Amino acid sequence: MAQLSDLPLKYRVLIRAYPFRRVEWKPGACLTKALSQARIALITTAGFYLPGQQPFDQSYLHEDCSFREIPWDTPVEALQIGQSSDAFDHRGIETDRNLALPLARLAELLAREIVGEPAPRHFSIMGSIIAPARLISESGPEIARRLAQDKVDGVFLAPVCPFCHQAAGLLQSVIEKSGIPTVSISLLADVTDRVEPPRALRVRRPLGYPLGEPNNPDLQRQILQTALGLLSRPVSDPLVAVYEG
C-alpha cells in the first residue's frame, strides 16, 4: 500500500494541508440480493475516454469534474488515457487498462455466475480534482441518476492517484445516498480515511495499481470479487477491509 512518504515532497505538503471534503451518506445502502443476481457498474478515476469523446482537461488547474460514459461492450484497449496526475506510475494502466476499469474481469465473473449481469454503461472521471464542488453537486448526482436509470444494484470504483481517492470517496457517498451500495479500492489510506467513504478494500499495491498487477487476470479477478463481496455488508460507519492476497 502506498504511503505519503512515497510521494514527491510537493504532494506530501499539499495532502497534509488540504481540507479534504466529505459527503454525509449514513446510513449506507446495502445489496439486497445475491451478488450472483446483481447488476454491477464500474467507475474509474483514470480519465479513460473513447476515441470520438472529448478528452479530459489536463491543465494544471485540476478542476475537470466531467464524466464519460463507457459502454459495456467497449474493448478496454480502445480506451484513451486522460489522467493528468504525475503522482503515480502510469505504466500499469498504459499496459493494461483493466487495472482501473476491469471490464474483462467483470466479464469473467459473469461467465462464472459470480455476478449477475453488467450495467449497460460504466463511467470514467479524471479523478485528480483539487476543487470537487461540481463533482458533489452536479456530476455525482447525474451519475447516480443514470445508475438508477440502468437499475444498477452495486458499484465498484477504482482510484489511481492521491486525489482520485477523494473523488472516488465523494462519488461513493453521493451514489450511496441515492440508495445504491458502493465499494472502492484504497491504495492510500491517508486520504481514504479522511474522506470516509462507505466501503473500501485496501490493496497493498502502489498508486496506479488498484487491481494489483497488469496482465495478471487471476489477481485482478480475485481483488474485484473480494471488493464486490463487501456490497452486501450493511454500513452505518465506514467499512475498511484489507485484501490479504
Quote the CA–CA distance of 114 and 116 in Å, as a whole number: 7
Q: CA distances (Å), 62 to each of 82, 84, 124, in order?
A: 12, 8, 15
User: Look-up: residue for cell 482537461?
Assistant: 57
pLDDT given for residue 50 in this prediction: 97
**pLDDT at position 61, please?**
64
- pLDDT of res. 4: 82
Q: Contact, 68 vs 50, CB < 8 A?
A: yes
Dump pLDDT digits (tens) for 158-206: 999 999 999 999 999 999 999 999 999 999 999 999 999 999 999 999 9
Mean pLDDT of the region 75-101: 94
Whole-number average pLDDT of the chain: 95
Work out the end-to-end distance of the chain between its first and last CA atoms, rounded to an integer number of angstroms: 12
Is the predicted pLDDT of residue 1 greater than 80, yes or no? Answer: no
Burial class for 240, CB neighbours closer than 10 Å (0-12, 13-18, 19+): middle
Nearest Cα neighbor of 46 from 59, 56, 38, 37 is 56
- String of b and e for 213-237 (b: at least 16 CB within 10 Å)? bbeebebbbbbbbbbbebbeeebee
Rounded to two decimals, the pTM is 0.96
Domain boundaries, the chain: 4-10+33-233
Among residues 160, 166, 107, the alpha carbon closest in space to that of 132 is found at 166
